[in-house]
Amino acid sequence: MEDTTRLTNDHSIKLFIQRDYSEGTAVKFQERFPAELEGRIDRQEFIEILRDINRFFADAEALSCTTFMENCCTCLTGYLLLLCMPTHYEKCVKRAAKYIDEKNESVLNPHGIFMVDPMEKGLRCIEVCITNAHR
Amino acid sequence: MVKQWEILESKNRFYCDGRCLTGRDIGVFIFALILITITSGLFFGFDCPYLTYRLSPAVPVFAAILFLSVICFIFRTACSDPGILPRATPDEVLYLERSNITSSPQSVALPGRTIEVQMHTGHVIQLKFCSTCKIFRPPRVSHCSLCDACIANFDHHCPWVGNCVGLRNYRYFYSFLMSLSFLCIYILAFNIINIVLRAQDKPSFADAIRDTPATIVEALICFFSIWSVLGLWGYHTYLICRSVTTNEDIKDTWNTSRRGAHMKNPFSRGNPCLNCFAALCGPLPPSFLNLRAIVTPDNNNINMSPTRMMNTINIDETRQYQLDDNNYQRHSSPVPPHSDRQQNRYPSYDYV
């Protein structure tokens, strides 16, 4: 069963963009251009996508009055408020997922690249799948 | 229909169809719950009627508020996901084996390799490989052998709440300690007040105690618990101000004197107030596990719905077609597993 999840086959290559922990445990992905994507997509464009994703998560992890008020209110209501509305972090994660979807459709898929929402991997890495058969 | 929580490899127990989880051994947690409930019950039953009449009805009201907060926080700590990191898929492991992100050559097996991270403060942190979860453990992540999972910002595994204390439930654990300390002090104080007031009405002290034998029981329980609970609360307040986890404190990770140079904790934000603020009121990520998603054959692989990839072929989809015994043209009416997962990704009742 596990054999079918081969990394390289005739059709696809999978690579994983790792997290950047140099600034702490806040969610940030390494903004480097993987060598496997050379020739498929413009370097700057890809790094810009990664930067935008990092911006969404930086916004989610920011310490602000909004998060303070939100946490205080949820605590005071005995956490029943969480049943009614999503947290700021969840909203940012949804925005990042929507952004990745848009970029997949507009920019990445035409080049045979597919980027997976990092939340599927527990925010550990961004999975990028490249297909060969397209060429 | 099998859901993700049913096939998760960690040793956690799941309730309410994957909405709550606890550690494997919840005996001590049940004991703690029973002890708190019995002590509070005795207080409400035996002390409160007299104190309400003698002092004010505010006494049981505040006690009730404290008791409800303790119950709320202990359940929140015990039943929420502490920050379990999902294990790596086989694809990821293969990629890690072939990549050059570690300093070791590819001939060294993954468990022998480490990743070095240069922090902005000048520290160099070594990320070790977890053989069970098949990931390079991020900073502050530790593998709990009792839960058999890597936990983000691992603090410790607390038997009293029957769960690990990590990134996502540390603030509830701290609030539990705080409210339990207040409850213990409150009950003990009003036990003493109760006995003293009754002794004023009765001829002797012994008569007063004979009237409310439960008070002595509660006072003893509170007296013996208060040292550990208050002590733990104080210890965690100290840890929060320094932005250090229990795990790091035990291992003395940020010991400034050991290396001679002044090594600042790279996760500290500078001043204690900001550290407290970040730990207790900071942002909290949702659970990294998608516990209530339905398992599909390619849940562990990339989910490329055919419409997205525009006629490209994925070996997993080919396998699906073979299993279905349909012909190749089936992909024109696609089942989009990825968009299904997207809908399940943010269920409205994800309490965990």
Chain A nearest CA to B345, separation (Å) = 8
**Residues paired with residue A12 on neighbouring β-strands, in sequence order:** A131
Looking at the structure of chain B, the number of domains it has is 1
Angle between helices B27-42 and B213-242 (to 10 degrees): 130
- In a domain, residue A6? The reply is no
Q: How many domains does chain A have?
A: 1
Span of A105-119, B52-66, B130-144, B291-305 with lowest mean pLDDT: B291-305
For B97, the token pair is: 């084996």
Q: Which domain holds residue A119?
A: 12-19+41-131
Q: Does A2 touch chain B (CB under 8 A)?
A: yes
Residue B338, token pair as written in the block? 């990825």
For residue B304, give the nearest of A34, A120, A37, A50 by alpha carbon.
A120
Report the C-alpha gap between B163 and A71 in whole angstroms: 22
Q: What one-letter code names the amino acid at B233? A: W
The residue from B20, B79, B150, B158 that is catalytic is B158
Q: Does A52 touch chain B (CB under 8 A)?
A: no
Q: Does B111 map to a domain?
A: no
pLDDT surpasses 90 at B168:
yes
Which residues have CB under 8 Å from B47's CB, separation 6+? Answer: B190, B191, B194, B212, B214, B215, B218
Could you tell me the pLDDT band of residue B141, with boundaries at 50, 70 and 90?
very high
Q: Hey, which residues does B20 pair with through a beta bridge? A: B15
Tokens of B311: 């006629």
How far apart are the C-alpha atoms of B86 and B227, rounded to whole Å? 38
| pLDDT at residue B337, rounded to an integer | 39
Q: Cβ–Cβ of A25/B140 closer than 8 Å?
A: yes
Please state which of the ranges B54-63, B198-207, B218-227, B270-279 shows the lowest mean pLDDT. Answer: B198-207
**Coil, helix or strand at residue B250:** helix
Report if residue B352 sits inside a domain: no
Of B92, B106, B130, which to mutate for an interface test with A (greatest number of A Cβ within 10 Å)?
B92
- What pLDDT is recorded for position B262? 53
Q: What local confidence, expressed as pLDDT, does residue B263 receive?
A: 62
Low-confidence ranges of chain A (pLDDT < 70): 1-11, 133-135
Residues in chain A within 8 Å Cβ distance of B346: 86, 90, 94
The DSSP output letter for A11 is S
Within-domain flag for A47: yes
pLDDT tens-digit profile of B47-67? Answer: 899 899 888 899 999 999 999
Q: DSSP letter string over A71-119?
A: HHHHHHTTTGGGGTS--HHHHHHHHHHHHHHHHIIIIIGGGTEEE--GG
- How do strand B135-136 and strand B124-130 relate by DSSP bridges? antiparallel
Query: Is B41 domain-assigned?
Result: yes
Domain interval for residue B263: 4-83+158-324
pLDDT band for B297, please (50, 70, 90 cuts).
Answer: low
User: With contact defined as beta carbons under 8 Å apart, do A51 and B293 qualify?
Assistant: no
B333, part of any domain: no
Residue linked to tokens 């140099």:
A22
pLDDT (mean) for B143-166: 93
What is the longest distance spanned by two Cα atoms in chain A? Answer: 57
Q: pLDDT class for B303, splitting at 50, 70, 90?
A: very low
Q: Is A13 on the interface with B (CB under 8 A)?
A: no
**pLDDT of B20-49, one tens digit each?**
899 999 999 999 999 999 999 999 998 899
Contact A56, A27 (CB under 8 A): no
Which DSSP symbol is given to B253? Answer: T
Q: CA of B318: which chain A residue's CA is closest?
A: A4
- Backbone φ and ψ for B78, nearest 5 degrees, come out as -70, -35
pLDDT of residue B120: 83
In this predicted structure, the answer to whether residue B255 has a pLDDT above a threshold of 90 is no
User: If DSSP codes are grouped into helix, strand and coil, which group holds residue B265?
Assistant: coil
Q: Judge whether B158 counts as a catalytic residue.
A: yes
A85 touches chain B (CB under 8 A): no
- Of the candidate ranges B135-144, B163-172, B255-264, B342-351, the one whose mean pLDDT is the lowest: B342-351
Residue B150 belongs to some domain of the structure: no
Nearest C-alpha neighbor of B182 from the set B126, B226, B217, B214: B226
Rounded (10°) angle between helices B170-201 and B272-281 = 90
CB contact under 8 A, A88 and B283: yes
Which residues in A lie closer than 8 A to residue B92 (C-beta atoms)?
Answer: 16, 121, 125, 127
In a domain, B332, yes or no: no
Euclidean distance between CA atoms B342 and A104, whole angstroms: 15
Q: What Cα–Cα distance (Å) separates residue B338 from each residue in B2, B269, B317, B323?
A: 17, 39, 12, 19
**Separation CA A75–CA A87 (nearest Å):** 13
Is residue A104 a contact partner of residue B308, using CB atoms and an 8 Å limit?
yes
Instruction: Give a yes or no: residue A34 inside a domain.
Output: no
Dihedral angle, C-alpha B50, B53, B58, B59, nearest 10 °? -10
Per-residue tokens: B252: 């003395």
Which of B165, B279, B164, B180 has the alpha carbon at shortest distance from B227? B180
The full DSSP string for B254-319 is T-TTTTSS----TT--SSHHHHHHHHHHS--PPPSS-TTSBP-TTSSS----HHHHTS---HHHHH
**Single-letter residue type at B303:** N
Q: What is the pLDDT of residue B110?
A: 77
